[in-house]
Amino acid sequence: MLDYMNLCRMAQLARERSISLGALVLADQAEQMETTEEKILETMDRQLTVMEQSAEKGCSATIRSMSGLTGGDAWKMYERACRGVSICGDFCVNAITTALAVAECNAAMGRIVASPTAGSCGILPGAVLTMMRKKKIERKTAIMALICAGGIGMVIANKASLSGAAGGCQAECGSASAMAAAALVEMAGGTPQMALDAAAMALKNQMGLVCDPVAGLVEVPCIKRNAAGVMIAITAADMALAGIQSVIPVDEVIEAMRDVGEAMPCALRETAQGGIAATPTARELTRKIFEKGENK
Ligand code: SF4
């Protein structure tokens, strides 16, 4: 059985067996859950379908969250992608659109896959669905990449946290970016070590990110952090695929993220009392949202 506390050891095992991280996790999970690999693949296929559906639902000019704070931004990005004028290019603008769409679907109470959480649900689909569409990656490969991402997420959950309330947004969006970066590397045919380097680089670049949702709602700044999170994942994956290594091993990066999260003051851990949530505009929006709720 795998030790989901040690990603470096997992990569070593995958290397010794000449398999991907995803394949290593799949075989182990089938054994641990006393099921077949086929059954797990079927489950992950359904998760991928939900991701596709939420990306489609969220990319709408008219979608709005219950608070009225957010909605329609994925559509604006989609229109920009269609015009072919984006600064960051076709692949990235599509990844941003998808990440925004899934996160906006979540804010509008639509069905999403928490990957690893609802607040960070756009990052992994932004990476995986865009690879499928733009790089013609097969569905089976995408499903294996989701399993690889799941393995990374399990280790982060065991060694640190995936919760904004416990570890700040670095634990949610940072972890999602790490998972997406590893998934991108696997989909591109990189080695297990490259996947870990990508995960480490993605997580390092969100180290210290606070959790500060306006009015306590998973909308602002969460939705746009999903867009930025997928871009960090893409950058980290391409760096790793180029042979750039993380100087600090991924397991140590995760431990550092845990320590930073524990050092964060309460106001910056999903209490909506600090950061963006404490700005004058955020306070005014909060007052209006709760006033509207009371008058209903
Ligand atoms: S700011 Fe907080 S609630 Fe929003 S995505 Fe980040 S961790 Fe989640």
Per-residue pLDDT, 116: 98
Domain of 146 in residue numbering reads as 21-294
Per-residue pLDDT, 292: 82
Measure 280 CA to ligand 1 centroid, in angstroms.
19
Return the best residue to mutate from 100, 218, 223, 279 for the ligand 1 pocket (most ligand atoms within 8 A of CB): 218
Phi-psi category of residue 8: left, alpha or beta, with phi > 0 → left and psi -120 to 50 → alpha: alpha
Q: Report the pLDDT averaged over residues 218-238.
A: 98
φ, ψ of residue 69 to 5 degrees: the values are: -70, -35
Residue 29 clears pLDDT 80, i.e. is over it: yes
Q: Six-digit token pair at 26?
A: 């799949």
Q: Report the pLDDT averaged over residues 267-286.
A: 98
Give the nearest ligand 1 atom to 120 CA.
Answer: 5
Contact call for residues 275 and 169 (beta carbons, < 8 A): no
CATH code for position 228: 1.10.4100
Verify whether ligand 1 is closer than 6 Å to residue 218 (CB atom).
yes
Q: Whose CA is nearest to atom 4 of ligand 1?
A: 222
Round the average pLDDT of the chain to a whole number and report it.
Answer: 97
Segment 90-124, tens digit of pLDDT: 999 999 999 999 999 999 999 999 999 999 999 99
Verify whether ligand 1 is closer than 6 Å to residue 164 (CB atom).
yes
Query: In this structure, is residue 2 part of a structural domain?
Result: no
Q: How many CB atoms are located within 10 Å of the residue 33 CB?
A: 10
Query: In this structure, is residue 15 part of a structural domain?
Result: no
Measure 103 CA to ligand 1 centroid, in angstroms.
11
Helix (H) / strand (E) containing 272: none
Verify whether ligand 1 is closer than 6 Å to residue 222 (CB atom).
yes
Q: Whose CA is nearest to atom 8 of ligand 1?
A: 119
DSSP classification of residue 277: G
Measure 207 CA to ligand 1 centroid, in angstroms.
14
Verify whether ligand 1 is closer than 6 Å to residue 120 (CB atom).
yes
Instruction: Quote the number of domains for the chain.
Output: 1
Q: Whose CA is nearest to atom 1 of ligand 1?
A: 211
Residue 296 clears pLDDT 90, i.e. is over it: no
Measure 8 CA to ligand 1 centroid, in angstroms.
28
Query: In this structure, is residue 10 part of a structural domain?
Result: no
Per-residue pLDDT, 242: 98
Q: How far apart are CA 158 and CA 276, in angstroms?
A: 29
Return the best residue to mutate from 100, 104, 225, 230 for the ligand 1 pocket (most ligand atoms within 8 A of CB): 225
pLDDT category at 215 given cuts 50, 70, 90 is: very high
Query: In this structure, is residue 46 part of a structural domain?
Result: yes
Measure 163 CA to ligand 1 centroid, in angstroms.
8
Query: In this structure, is residue 75 part of a structural domain?
Result: yes
What's the pTM value of the predicted model, to 2 decimals? 0.98
Q: How far apart are CA 103 and CA 81, in angstroms?
A: 18
pLDDT category at 146 given cuts 50, 70, 90 is: very high
Q: 192-204 and 139-159 helices cross at what angle (nearest 10)?
A: 60
Verify whether ligand 1 is closer than 6 Å to residue 116 (CB atom).
no
Q: Whose CA is nearest to atom 6 of ligand 1?
A: 169
Per-residue pLDDT, 295: 72
pLDDT category at 189 given cuts 50, 70, 90 is: very high
